[in-house]
Chains A and B, each alone.
Chain A
Amino acid sequence: MYVFEGMQILLHTRGVTLPRVSIDDDVRRHVYDVTMREGTPPSASRLGELASLPPGEVAASLERLAAARMLVLRDGEVLMAGPFSAVPTPFRVTTPTFTCYGNCIWDGLGIAATLQCDVDIDTSCGDCGAAMRVAVRGAEVRGSGTIHFALPARQWWQDIVFT
């Protein structure tokens, strides 16, 4: 039995009620805890160690989180824990403590919002490839250029990698 659920039942029988934390909530917490400290999502095997779960339960939980559009998977591993990417992209984000990658320019800005810190985003013009840098300093964004959303919002999840 999953340890949190076991504890909740035990405490409930003694008249204590804790907020319910599901396996998926716990796995997601570990995904973001590691990603926000290190810049890259953890592997499925590391998630198993962190959440004290066997591989099959980790895999099932990740699948449920992906079905709920909270994560994007590739070959059973976390590919995107929005706004972070598990693989290098054209949106390299430098924070005070690590360098990581956003899935798009919006996610590059989203990393600054998630971590609540200053960042530099190194990217390039989608057309001509010229290097571009965007900086977030406090509540301000600095840089130049225009963001293009190619797909209408209702289509974003039809092909999230392209989006």
Chain B
Amino acid sequence: MLLFRSEEHIDRWCTTWRLPKGALLTLEEGWRLARVWYGEDRRDPAWRRRTLEETEAVFAELGLTSGFWNLR
């Protein structure tokens, strides 16, 4: 996941590398996702990776509901 100055720069990068355009997030959206994703203490022996269902719930809670975020 890279940061770009604008969507125009993302379009140019995708063209240069012949990659389809993915999902775009604002910094605020990325920060919200990071806080949920990394907010748990991974030193805790009880910590586990989220299940597929839990991950889907995180995406849904943040409004990331397009097919891009589909895990199945």
Contact = CB atoms under 8 A, between A and B. Distances in A.
Contact of B38 (A82, A130, A148, A152): A82
Interface of A: 19, 21-22, 25-26, 28-29, 32-33, 36, 68-70, 81-83, 104-107, 109-114, 123-128, 130, 132, 134, 136, 141, 143-154, 163
Contact of B49 (A69, A113, A130): A69
A126 B2 CA distance: 6
B65 to A, nearest CB: 11
A151 B14 CA distance: 12
B3 A145 contact: yes
A108 to B, nearest CB: 8
A150 B10 CA distance: 10
Contacts of B55: 153
A126 B38 contact: no
B1 A132 contact: no
B36 to A, nearest CB: 8
A113 B38 contact: yes
B24 A147 contact: yes
Given A153-B59, A154-B70, 6 more contacts: A29-B44, A105-B2, A107-B34, A107-B38, A114-B39, A126-B9
